[in-house]
Structure 1
Amino acid sequence: MAAKVEFEDNDGRVVRYVRHVNGGGLVAPGARVHDGASVAPTAYVEAGARLGDRSRIGEGSWLESEVIVGDDVVIDRNVHLGPRTRVHDGARIGAGARIGSDVVVGRGARLPADAIVPNGTVVRRTGRAGRADFGIAA
């Protein structure tokens, strides 16, 4: 697998990525991914995004610009995290979830597979196993 990958986007710009040492996922310049994190080979981490220690990004997932993911987070396959979203430590996001821009996923929150979370939503952890409370940010 090549250590660096280049693509031409829809606007004709060349976009360059490097493969993360743990998992081989594609990381844009300006993104910070902890060496202890795992990024699947077909996952993307865009510029300005940060990924914490022991966090895992699944196949086909995409972290847009300025997304911050804490430690011990699991983001399953084919998940999209919109710009400026924050995912706090210990959160879990199920396969196929679509998370909008400026969303906050609280510490230890769980989002089910195929969840759709609108822009600006705050997702809190609840006491019920496997459930999350979607509150709209004030």
Structure 2
Amino acid sequence: MAAKVEFENDDGQVVHYVRHVNGGGLVSPSARVHEGASVAPTAYVEAGARVGDRSRIGEGSWLDHDVLVGEDVLVDRNVHLGPRTRVHNGARIGAGARIGSDVVVGSGARLPADAIVPDGTVVRRGARSGRSDFGIAA
């Protein structure tokens, strides 16, 4: 597996990634992912993002620009975390979730699979079941 990878984006710009040592996921050179974190081979971590120790980023997931992921966080497969989103320690985000921009996911919060969280939402620890916790009809 190549240590450095280049792609041309939709705007014709060449973007660079390096493979994370734990899992082989694609990480922007300007992102910071703790060596104790795991990034699946088909996951992306964009510029300015940070991922803490013991966090796991699943297959096909995408951490957009300037996302902050704390320690002991699980981001399941095929999740998108929008720009500037913050996920605090111990949070769990279910498969297929779509998290908007500038969202705050509190410590220990649980988001179910396929959750859709609008821009600017604050998700507290008690948000464990149903979309109604995010202001969307269950």
- How high is the TM-score relative to the length of structure 2? 0.93
Which segments of 5 or more consecutive residues in structure 1 lack a partner in the other structure?
none
* Stretches (4+) displaced over 6 A: none
Q: Which amino acid aligns with 1:96?
A: G
Q: Which residue of 2 aligns with 1:74?
A: 74
C-alpha separation in 2, matches of 1:131 and 1:37: 27
- Matched-pair contact (CA < 8 Å) for 1:18–1:27: yes
C-alpha separation in 2, matches of 1:86 and 1:16: 24
C-alpha separation in 2, matches of 1:48 and 1:23: 20
Which segments of 5 or more consecutive residues in structure 2 lack a partner in the other structure?
none
Q: Which residue of 1 aligns with 2:39?
A: 39
- CA offsets per residue over residues 76-119 of structure 1, 9 Å max, x none? 00000000000000000000000000000000000000000000
Q: Which amino acid aligns with 2:45?
A: V
Give the number of equivalent residue pairs: 133
- Matched-pair contact (CA < 8 Å) for 1:18–1:26: yes
Q: Does 1:90 align with 2:90?
A: yes
Offset at residue 31 of structure 1 (A): 0.2
C-alpha separation in 2, matches of 1:21 and 1:131: 34
Q: Which residue of 1 aligns with 2:64?
A: 64
- Matched-pair contact (CA < 8 Å) for 1:24–1:41: yes
Q: What RMSD in Å do the two structures reach over aligned CA positions?
A: 1.2
Offset at residue 29 of structure 1 (A): 1.4
Relative to its length, the structure with more strand (as a share) is 1
C-alpha separation in 1, matches of 2:51 and 2:77: 16
